[in-house]
Amino acid sequence: MEHAKKLFLEKVAYNLRVSSLISTSKAGSGHPTSCLSAADIMSALFFYAMRYDPQDHKNPNNDRFILSKGHAAPVLYAVYKELGVLTEEDLLGLRNFDSVLEGHPTPRFAYVEAATGSLGQGLSIAVGMSYAAKMDKRDYTTYVLLGDMETTEGSVWEAAEVAAFYKLDNLIGIIDVNRLGQSAPTMHEHNLAGYVQKFQAFGWHTITVNGHNIEDLCTSFDEAKNVFEKPVIIIAETIKGYGINFAANKEGFHGKAFKGEEEDRALEQLYQNFSSIADAYSDYSWLSNVPVKDTLHVIPPILLPEPTYVKGHMLATRKAYGQVLSILGSKEESVVSLDAEVKNSTYAELFEKKHKAQFVQCFIAEQNMVSMGVGMSGLGKIPFISTFACFFTRAYDQVRMAAISKAPLRLVGSHAGVSIGQDGPSQMGLEDIALMRALPNSIVLYPADAVSTYKLVALMANYNAGISYLRTTRMDTPVMYDNDEPFTIGGCNIVRQSRHGDSYACVVAAGVTLFESLKAYEVLKREGVTISVIDLYSIKPLAQDILIRMAKKSGQKVITVEDHYLEGGLGEAVTYALRNTETEIRCLAVKKMPRSGTPQRLMEYEEIDANAIIKAVHGF
Amino acid sequence: MEHAKKLFLEKVAYNLRVSSLISTSKAGSGHPTSCLSAADIMSALFFYAMRYDPQDHKNPNNDRFILSKGHAAPVLYAVYKELGVLTEEDLLGLRNFDSVLEGHPTPRFAYVEAATGSLGQGLSIAVGMSYAAKMDKRDYTTYVLLGDMETTEGSVWEAAEVAAFYKLDNLIGIIDVNRLGQSAPTMHEHNLAGYVQKFQAFGWHTITVNGHNIEDLCTSFDEAKNVFEKPVIIIAETIKGYGINFAANKEGFHGKAFKGEEEDRALEQLYQNFSSIADAYSDYSWLSNVPVKDTLHVIPPILLPEPTYVKGHMLATRKAYGQVLSILGSKEESVVSLDAEVKNSTYAELFEKKHKAQFVQCFIAEQNMVSMGVGMSGLGKIPFISTFACFFTRAYDQVRMAAISKAPLRLVGSHAGVSIGQDGPSQMGLEDIALMRALPNSIVLYPADAVSTYKLVALMANYNAGISYLRTTRMDTPVMYDNDEPFTIGGCNIVRQSRHGDSYACVVAAGVTLFESLKAYEVLKREGVTISVIDLYSIKPLAQDILIRMAKKSGQKVITVEDHYLEGGLGEAVTYALRNTETEIRCLAVKKMPRSGTPQRLMEYEEIDANAIIKAVHGF
C-alpha cells in the first residue's frame, strides 16, 4: 500500500479516536474504550473496503454496515464526521435529547440501518441483508462489526449457521477482539483460535489479523471479498482503550467516559502515542468507491380481490393465512415468508409451494429469523414471519429492537391459546397479545374466521409504521363473514345485537372465543336474554368509541372472553378503554396453569367457554 | 456384553417402541416416529448407564435426565412403565385432561425434572444441574437427550460454551440424529461430522455411535463417563420411525399418530422387524444401580435482621439489591447469584465479592442463564438471576417454560424505564412488568427505595410458588422508609394522605414515579389540593381492597403513573382492579418511543413526571 494512503487511513483512525473521546466526555457517559479498539477497523472498512455513496445512503447498491456492538456508537458517528455527513457540533450533541446521535444507534440518525445495542443481533440483521442481496441479485457486500463478548449470545450462532447454510459469501463479519467485556474478561480473551475454530466449524471462512494494523486490515478485507460460497469472519486482535496508557487493556474502564483532568490526560496520551500520524501530512485524496446509482422500487399498496370463501365452511385461520399469503406473493414479489421449520403448522408451506424463491427456511432459530426480517425489510422486502405464537417469546428481544428500528415486520403466531389442546402448555401462545401490545407503533390483530384473516393479512401487508401481529387458531372454525365484509385496523364487528340495538349485556371476544360467545348468545336467546356480541378482531388499536357505545346500549355490562392470560390481554385492553364509563366488566381469560386435554375440556377448565359466558351473564 | 443383558436391553427398547406407538394412537396425537428413533438410546441410558433409584426419585444423588426433545414424551413415559412406576393404563391416558402424562413433559408427572417442549432448552437446564453438582460436590451425572433439529437454537450453543468453560465433565448429552425435522430435513442430515466439528470447537468431547446398536451405545456411555474436564456429547445416528417400514426415514410423519388400520400395520411391522427380540427369552435380571441414600436439605424460611439505612440517604435500589443479596448469601449458602456479565450494573458484584463460590458468571447469554436457574432450583438452590430488565426479553421463552416447570426463580431486572437516560431505548426495560405479570403464579415487585428493596428481596427468597420478579432503578433515590416498615407480597403503602384520610385524588405509583408523585403532592399541597399517594410496590398480586378504599376516599379519582409502557403495566393492572368501582382513572405511562436524554427530560417527554401528575390532577 502506498504510504500516503496508509497514512491517510491512520489519520482517519486517529481522528475517530479523538472524536470518540471528546464526544463521550462532553456527553458525560458512553463507551470510549470500546471505540478505541475499533477505530482502525472502522477506518479500513469505510475508507478502504466499502463501496458506497455517502451522498446517497439510500442507494440499494451501497455496501451495508451494521454496528452489532452498538455501544461503540460514537466511533460510527465519528466516521460520518470524517465523511462530511456530520459536523463536530453534531458529535458534541451525542446522547442529548435533541440530537439524533443516541447512546446506541437508532434509525433516528438516517445513516443507521437498524437499531443495535442489545448485543448479538447485528449478525442476524446482516444475514437478512445478505440474503436479500442474493434474492435481488445485487452485488453489495454487508459488513457487520461484532464485539468479542457478544459472541456468547446464542443468536450469533443461529445467524452463523444460517449464513453458512445459504453460502452467503456477500457477508463479512469482523470481531473486535479486545479481550474485555463490561465486568470480566471474555472466555477466549486474546486466544483468536477459539473464535477461528467455532466459526470454521459453523462453515465460515476465517481470517485473523492485528486489528491495529491498517495495512493488514485492508489485506484482510481484500481476502474476504475473494472468498466464494462461504461467509467470512475477520477476527481482529485489538486492545480495549488502545492509545490511552492508563486505560489500555485494563479492567474497570468499560462504559466510562473520561471526565475533566482525565479527559485531558487521555487526549494527551493519544496524541503522544500517535504523534507521527497526527502531525504528518498525507496528500492522499480519498474518493469514495461509489456503486451504480439506483433507488429502491416503491411498493404501491397491494390490493387483493375479495376472497371467495363459503359461509359455514370449516377452515382454520392458520390455513386461511397461508392461502392469502400465497395470493399476496403472487401480487407482489417483495413479499417474503420466513419460517422456523413449522411451515406445515403455520401453513406458510402454501406460500412456499407457489413462491419458492420468496420463501426462507430459517430452521428452529426464531431470534435470527426475526432479525433477518429487520435486515430484509430495510431493503424493500415485505417479510411475513410465522411460527407458533408461543415461540415469538423466544425472539422477543429481537422484536423489541425491531420496534425501535421501526421495521415493518409482519409477525404471525399460530396455535394461540389453550384451544390447541393435547400438546400442552409449552406449545400454547398465552402471552403473545400482551407482548405484542407492549411495543411502540404495533398493531395486534386476531381474526376468527377465514374471511377476516384474509382481509387482515391484506391490511398488514400495507402497514409500514411498525410491527403488525396476527394471531391464528389451530382448530377449524366456520366461515362466518360475507366475502365483502369490510375490516379495518382499529375496527371491530358487532356480530349479534337485538333489532333495536339494546341488549342485556355485551360480550367482547375474538378468535375461538367468538364462537363460544355465539353459542352463549343462542342459549341466552332461548332464555329470553339478548346479548350483543362484538368481534374485537383489532385488539390494538381498539375501537374504543364503538365499545363505549355498545357498553351503553347494554346497560353498562360488558364481558370479555379470551383464550390468553388475563394480564396484558384483550380483557385488560377493553377494561382500559372503558375505564371512565362506569361499566361493570367481567373478564374471562386463562387464569389457571393449562395442561394437555381436548380443546373443549380446556376451555371449560379455564372458564372461557359458552357455559362460562352464560354464567357470567347470569351473574350480573 | 453378555448376551442375556444385551437381549434384555433390546427387549426394553422394543417395549418402549410398542408403548410409544400404542399410547399415541390411543391419544390420537403425538410424535411416535420421534420416539422410535430414541428408543434404543433410552433403553441403554436408563437400564445400563444411569445410576438412580426409581423408588426414590427425590434422592439428590440420583443421576438426572432431561428430555430436551420434549415431543418424545411418550418414550419417556414408556421407560417409567418398564421401571414399574407407571402402568399400561397410565400410558393409555396420555394427553388426557385427567392424566399427568402431558403431550410434552411437565412436572405434573413427578419424575419429570423440568418442563420441556420448547426446543433447545434442555441442555441449559442440564448445565444448571451439572453446575449444582460441582457446587455441592455430588457425583451424579446429568444426561440430556437432544433432537438434532433443535441444535439450530442459539440457546444450545450458549449452554455448550458455558458447560465447556466450567469443565462440566459430569454432563453427558446425546443427540438423536434422526435426520428429519417437522417439515424439512436438518442442515446436517446424517452428516455426523457437522455436529462433531461444532461441539469440538465449543470445547466438548464428542463420540459418534450407531443409535440403534445397544452394545455400541453402552460402550459410548462407558467412554463418556471416563472423560475428565470436558462435557461429552454422544452423537447418535438414528432413523426416524425406526422399525416401521412405511414411515422410517420418510418425510411427512412428524407429529402424526398412527390411526386404525395404520396402527395395526405399524405394530405388525415393528413385530416383524424385531421378531428375534420380541419373542426371545432373556434371563437377565436387571437391578437398578442405586446411589447412596440422601434427601435434599429443607431450607427453613430465611429471616433477615432489619436493615440499617438512613432516611434521606441517596442509594439506587439496584445497589440495595446487591447489598441484601449479599446478606442473604451469608445467611443461606443455597442462595446463588447468576449474572450475564453486567454484575457491576446490577450490583450482583457485591454478592460475588463475599460469596465467590455461590456466584455464577453466565456471560452474555441470558437464555442459558435462566434455564440454568431452573436446573439449579430443582436441586435445592435459591437462584437470584439478574440482568438489565430489558434483557429478560431475551430469555422470555425460558422464563415462560420455567413458570410451567413451577421453578422458583428470582429474577431481578435493573435499569428499568426511560429514567435510565442517555443510553437510549435499547437499554430501557419498558415491557418487563407486562411480561412478568403474564406468567402463572408469578409475583412482580417494584421497590422505590433501599428499605423496600431490602424487605422485598427477603420476601422473594422465601417465595417458592413460582417466578418472582423485582424491578430496580438505575438512579439514586432517597431512603424514604423507616427500617422497621413492614412489606408484604400483595401489599402497598399509603405514603401521603390528609389527616382525615380524604383527598382530592389518589396517585398510584411505584419506583421512580413515586418520587415524582411526592413532588406533585408538595406543589398541590401549596395550592390547597391534597392528594393521597400510594406506593404500589407489589404490582402482582395487588392490594385491590386498599386501592378500592383509597379510590373511594379520593372522590373516585385515581391517577396511575409508571416508567413502563402502558400496555400490561401498572396502570392497566390498577384499572383492572378498580374496574367495577365507577372510578375515573388517568393512566400516565410511557406512550411515545423513547430516546437518549437526561432522565428528567425523558420523564417530562413521556409525561410521567411531577408536572404531568399535577396536570392530570388539575384535569379532573
How confident is the model over A360-381, as pLDDT tens digits? 999 999 999 999 999 999 999 9
Give the integer Cα–Cα distance in Å for A391 and B118: 8
Does B297 have pLDDT greater than 90? no
Report the percent of chain B where pLDDT is more than 90. Answer: 98
| Cβ-based contacts of B116 with chain A (< 8 Å) | 426
pLDDT at A18: 98
Q: In this structure, are strands B443-445 and B538-540 parallel, antiparallel, or unpaired?
A: antiparallel
- How many pairs of residues across A and B have Cβ atoms under 8 Å apart? 332
Does B238 have pLDDT greater than 90? yes
| Residue from the list B152, B345, B579 with its beta carbon closest to the beta carbon of A158 | B152
Report the percent of chain A where pLDDT is more than 70. Answer: 100
Q: In this structure, are strands A493-496 and A531-535 parallel, antiparallel, or unpaired?
A: antiparallel
Question: How far is C-alpha A583 from the chain's CA centre?
Answer: 38
Q: Give the residue on A whose Cα is nearest the Cα of B437.
A: A567
How high does pLDDT run on average in chain A? Answer: 97
Say which DSSP state B416 is in. Answer: B
| Cβ-based contacts of B571 with chain A (< 8 Å) | 576
pLDDT at B500: 83
Element (H, E) at B47: none
Give the integer Cα–Cα distance in Å for A339 and A359: 8
B366 flagged as catalytic:
yes
The band of A306, judged by pLDDT with boundaries at 50, 70 and 90, is: very high
| Cβ-based contacts of B592 with chain A (< 8 Å) | 440
pLDDT at A5: 96
Q: Which amino acid is at A423?
A: D
pLDDT (average), residues A412-439: 98
pLDDT at B501: 81
Q: Is A594 helix (H, G, I), strand (E, B) or coil?
A: coil
Interior angle at CA B547, CA B542 and CA B551, nearest 5? 160
Q: Give which of B508, B510, B585 is closest to B547, Cα–Cα.
A: B508
The band of A305, judged by pLDDT with boundaries at 50, 70 and 90, is: very high
The band of B588, judged by pLDDT with boundaries at 50, 70 and 90, is: very high
Are A346 and A412 within 8 A, CB to CB? yes
- 8 Å CB contact of A106 and B393: no
Q: Cα Rg for chain A, rounded, in angstroms?
A: 28
pLDDT (average), residues B29-42: 98
pTM over 0.90? The answer is yes
Backbone angles phi, psi at A446, to 5 degrees: -150, 90
Report the percent of chain B where pLDDT is more than 70. Answer: 100
| Residue from the list A118, A423, A572 with its beta carbon closest to the beta carbon of B426 | A118
Among A165, A388, A394, A443, the strongest candidate for a mutation testing the B interface, having the largest count of B CBs within 10 A, is A394
Are B116 and B400 within 8 A, CB to CB? no
Residues 190-229 of A with CB under 8 A from B: 197-198, 200-202
- 8 Å CB contact of B427 and A104: yes
The band of A590, judged by pLDDT with boundaries at 50, 70 and 90, is: very high
Q: What is the pLDDT of residues B41-73, one digit of tens each?
A: 999 999 999 999 999 999 999 999 999 999 999
Does A148 have pLDDT greater than 90? yes
pLDDT (average), residues A284-306: 95
More confident residue, B279 or A321: A321
The band of B211, judged by pLDDT with boundaries at 50, 70 and 90, is: very high
CB distance from B330 to chain A under 8 Å? no
**Cell match 417437522: residue?**
B182
Proportion of chain A in helix, strand, coil states, percent, rounded to 5: 40, 15, 40
Q: Please state, as a whole number, how many other Cβ atoms lie within 10 Å of the Cβ of residue A295.
A: 11
Interior angle at CA B317, CA B315 and CA B320, nearest 5? 75
pLDDT (average), residues B441-446: 98
Q: Is A456 helix (H, G, I), strand (E, B) or coil?
A: helix
Q: Please state, as a whole number, how many other Cβ atoms lie within 10 Å of the Cβ of residue B618.
A: 11
| Cβ-based contacts of A420 with chain B (< 8 Å) | none
pLDDT (average), residues B235-258: 97
Catalytic entry in B113, B237, B352, B366: B366
**Helical residues (DSSP H) of A238-365, grouped into ranges:** 261-273, 275-278, 317-331, 343-346, 349-354
Does B498 have pLDDT greater than 90? no
CB distance from B361 to chain A under 8 Å? yes
CB distance from B112 to chain A under 8 Å? no
Q: What is the pLDDT of residues A228-280, one digit of tens each?
A: 999 999 999 999 999 999 999 999 999 999 999 999 999 999 999 999 999 99
Dihedral, CA of residue B196, residue B200, residue B202 and residue B204, to nearest 10? 100
Residue B591 to residues A466, B7, B144, B606, B607, Cα–Cα distance (Å): 15, 67, 44, 6, 9
**Helical residues (DSSP H) of A166-205, grouped into ranges:** 192-201
| Residue from the list B70, B198, B579 with its beta carbon closest to the beta carbon of A585 | B579
- 8 Å CB contact of A341 and B437: no
CB distance from A394 to chain B under 8 Å? yes
Q: Give which of A261, A301, A309, A229 is closest to A484, Cα–Cα.
A: A309
Does A481 have pLDDT greater than 90? yes
Give the integer Cα–Cα distance in Å for B161 and A152: 8
Q: What is the DSSP string of B219-241?
A: HHHHHHHT--SS-EEEEEE--TT
Give the integer Cα–Cα distance in Å for A280 and A271: 12
pLDDT (average), residues B74-93: 98
Give the integer Cα–Cα distance in Å for B600 and B607: 10
Q: In this structure, are strands A468-471 and A443-445 parallel, antiparallel, or unpaired?
A: parallel
pLDDT (average), residues B219-241: 98
How high does pLDDT run on average in chain B? Answer: 97
Give the integer Cα–Cα distance in Å for A223 and A234: 10
Element (H, E) at A413: strand A410-414
Say which DSSP state A206 is in. Answer: E
Q: According to the 3-state scheme, what is the secondary structure of A424-454?
A: CHHHCECCHHHHHHCCCCCEEECCCCHHHHH
Among B397, B405, B415, the strongest candidate for a mutation testing the A interface, having the largest count of A CBs within 10 A, is B397
Strand partners, A476: A316
Q: What is the pLDDT of residues B447-467, one digit of tens each?
A: 999 999 999 999 999 999 999
Does B492 have pLDDT greater than 90? yes
pLDDT at B91: 98
The band of A297, judged by pLDDT with boundaries at 50, 70 and 90, is: confident
Helix axes B544-553, B570-577, angle to 10 degrees: 80
